[in-house]
Structure 1
Amino acid sequence: MEKLILSGNDLGNEGIIHTSSCLHKVDEIDLSRCGCKSDGAIGLASAVCEQTEEIGSLLLGGNAIGNRGMDAIASCLYNIKEYETTARESWGWGITKSGKKKMEKVLVALRKRRTFDFINDTSEKCGTAGAELNVVGCRVKIPTGATDKEVSLHVTSYYGTEDNSDQISPTLECRPYNTNFQKEISISLPNCFICDQPQPVVIKCSNDGLKWEDVGTLVHKNEHHHQFTTTHFTWYECFSLSRVLCIDKRVLLLSLLRQITPKCFVNSRIPLRQTTRKQNKK
């Protein structure tokens, strides 16, 4: 584990941005009281987002980065293992009450991520030639010419088994958030339910994993996947508009994951046992 401790050095924005180029070489970095302002925080956050693996910790206490810098750091907390420690220092960032509330919302979303039963992710460099990212049944396909520069893309799928009977797909998180593409990209989410007859399905997206809005509809005909197109990265889920379902979510989810990747069960909180189908009462 490599540590980089630069606290108390007057690096300023330029020094902070220059230092961020070595994030891939360290696991813990202390930039407390380094004269970092909002522009330095934005550059640092961008570098954190581009890391293909989580960094251990990032300390920024005593830097007056303000609300603008806080927004940037909040957007990269998902890629910091000890994000609670980073957020705890936000009292010294010179942010307003609204900024503190926004940070708390981000923390709520991040804490929720840790409650899912199965989490898997992947990352890929994408240039003008396009790319395809696959993670536990979820697929994101970016066509040629969708971006004119090379970007690091991260996709995470979340499978839960709590009784949320209207959600019929895993939750898919695509980062960096609000990455815009010049062409439509295709997203395919596995179907976690089967039904007796075609049912309407609504596609929802969220910028923070908390507040969701409808962005389109599909017709569920017992296909294995729900496929739709978009032009930007964010959170996505599919929900049923009907409760006419004929199999228990837990049962089908376990079956689906066994088919896709048995390795998902290594750290599962769900015991592996024989399951039986449950028919809907008509």
Structure 2
Amino acid sequence: MAIILGAHQYGKAENRVVRITRDTPRHEIRDVNVSSALRGDFAPAHLAGDQRNVLPTDTQKNMAYAYAKTVGLETLEGYGLALARHYVDDVPPVEGARIEIEEYAWERVQVDGAGHDHTFVRKGQEIRTCSVTVEGTGEAQQTWVTGGFKDLVVLKSTGSEFADFYVDEFTTLAPTHDRVMATSLVARWRFTTTDVDWDATYAGIKATMISTFATLHSLALQQTLFEMGRAVLEAYDVVAEVRLSAPNKHHFLYDLGRFGIENDGEVFHADDRPYGLIQAAITRDDAPDAGPAWNAYTGLV
């Protein structure tokens, strides 16, 4: 039996980069967490400790900060594309690079009804995410970009059901035709092109998903996820596929009857675990192949 080295990569994880643009008295801010992962002929490092092909992770850290200045962080995707292409185009041992970015949003402090020029407060409905993967060089080079978000907590107090489910001898859950439905949504979508208005598209996709969640009378969280993904694909030709992960943040009606108090769907116990976890991919039947940029990503999303 032979023992061999399997798939491998390395990089610098979670570089916390804050870029403040000071070109005018009215400053702008982008606050991100950047991780890089490089693939290539790095087997000698694993098998013999030979580091000659290994670009140090400390160098990758420095590049994350340097490109925040030289390229800028006007868009997450543009910054990520520049970093990934640098590694693949300019570092010979590197055959593929993936850049993953999370953004922590800020908004201006309001003073006398106007946004202050250089003071901000954390915005934070969700954490915006994106990833860029570049593989190969020259005409054979391929690029994949994904957008997304995580930790977007949404809740609807009615308009959701869960009934007519499969029942066996261990089933104790009662069917309901009126329940609270809440989740902390994780979403990723894969682009078919890099010719995208990144920020406007992100805002539009998020709004489309939230609107669908709100207006759809849901018979199941699974149905809601599919309709959210379908709405995005119908609205945005530049998106090939949407992947969603939604933990069911259960709200159970609290038993006040034992105290002689009527509880007509008004007081709930928010139970954080265990929870149902619903995940789905919604795609076009003619979507181009995602390559490693998508399926190498951890988990379904």
Q: TM-score, normalised by structure 1?
A: 0.29
Point out the structure with the larger strand share: 2
- The structure having more radius of gyration, on CA atoms, is 2
Q: TM-score, normalised by structure 2?
A: 0.28
